[in-house]
Structure 1
Amino acid sequence: MSAPVERVGVVGCGAMGTGFAVLCARNGRTVTVVSSSPATVSRGRQRLRESLERAAAKGKLPAGDLDAVLDRLSVTADLADLAGCQLVLEAVPEDLDLKIEIFSQLDKVVQDPDAILASNTSSIPIIRLARATARGSHVVGMHFFNPVSVMPLVEIVASLLTEDRIRDRAQEFATTVLGKEAIVSGDRAGFVVNALLIPYLLSAVRMLESGFATAEDIDHGMLRGCGHPMGPLALVDMIGLDTVGAVADALFDEFKQPLYAPPPLLSRMIDGGMLGRKSGRGFFDYS
């Protein structure tokens, strides 16, 4: 029987990695976060602190608990510091080559032979990452949604190589420890949510591109006509145009269906650095 997961590793200190790390630490786990380089370690620590301070300011974290949670969080630039982890979540950008390289390295540095190696990928088939290791049976997808602290869902994705008990351990950790709701998806690009969501978002981009309606009217139509909490173009801006483009590319590569092909407008905006909220400008202006 596997030991309970107490030591967690996170590769990547962006929005998803930070959110997952903080959630684990708030639920009593010791967490080591690997940042991209020594130069970004201090920025990673600051990002973790700011996330906790925001939670405390909103009354979601008792002020007296902030230091205790911070004490359970550490940031490093060395993957070797994840050697003792029982679960490692990769949360780097949607770049297949980068993710394969990380899983290849994790296979060498994580010492526990029963450790779960998980990916937060939103689109890449898990078996492609599993094949980068000598323990494909222990590789699983754990796709959280942004912001991790707020969104209740996680998709659990087992490849053809994943052992059932590893899938079940990952799901139990997400639900019992982190308090999330889980759905189980087959190992196909986009999984459940993005395979349905991305064609909808791309359709909104195509509608804008064709001149059929303005961005404001497209989003207002879905807000007021369908009761959606956010319009599709505002949602693309929040996710990041580059991320939406990468997921669309992965879906099109898998299924070869036109509805998954990124529209030229999306591609040109990505080329121009108009990535949405994180760049200050996307389909709407955030400057």
Structure 2
Amino acid sequence: MRYYDPHTLQIFITVCEEGSVAGAAEKISIVPSAVSKRLSALEEQVGVKLLERTKRGALPTPAGEVLLRSARETLIALERMHAELSEFSDGVQGDLRILASLSVICQFLPKQISTFMQAHEKVRITLEEKVSSLITRGIEEGRGDIGICWEDAHTKNLDSRPYLTDQLAIVVNAQHPLADKSGLFFEETLAYDHVEILPGSLVSLTLQREATALGSPIRFRIHVTTFDAACRIADSNIAIAVVPLEVAALYETAMNIKTIPLNDPWATRNFVACVRDYSKLSVPARALFDHLTNLNQ
């Protein structure tokens, strides 16, 4: 039986994810020459070329793709074994990675993670903010243990459970012509310039799709990556923004803005928590997944 060093497998995974030896070396804090030496030894061990060096960086060959998938599954299995064995002596412990949308991170998730970590002090959690398409892909590829995203994302290949619901709203300057409205349909906002938050996100694509269906494409005047920036743009009366109602409410007292709920059915969003295979989750991952989803039933 051939032995594959888990540390070398992790280095190989990191090179594939970062797209370069230098990027991987920086991320895992070792010198590039050591990374290259590990990769050469791995290729010699398997007897095939695993990486192709191109102008775009280091890309896995077909054989490399097979190893990448298997290496991720192997390291997940080792982590699960370690967590399950450790539970006998030390209680639930381990390292978990959550991939979540900006809306979830800004509204619900931090407090829920806090209550879980108070009960399980030996669990360490890495939280990464990503758009929904990258969340589902990351969970499918083993880059994260738990994903939380809008249910409209493609989760059919994953085990998912209902999470929470939020409401989208329009944020405008307090002197804006729409500011006196108690509720709005999205169509009523299309005469005005909008802020695009996280270009390429599911919300951005949904707004574009709905605007096109209404026969009046949305005008994105400015692009930002955070809700804070979007609210500040609205406060400056440069453009209006679509943000979660609960998030916007946090900024109303500090800014000269008005928050108006959107009445369109799609503006009420259901989120889901998803994993690749619930039956194969490690003990801490299963505990966290149950914690997040049971809280919201």
Instruction: Please give the range of the TM-score, normalised by the shorter of the 2 chains.
Output: under 0.3
More strand by share: 2
Q: TM-score when scaled to structure 2?
A: 0.27
Task: Name which one, 1 or 2, has greater alpha-carbon Rg.
Answer: 2
- Asked which structure has the greater RCO (Cα within 8 Å, sep 6+), the reply is 2
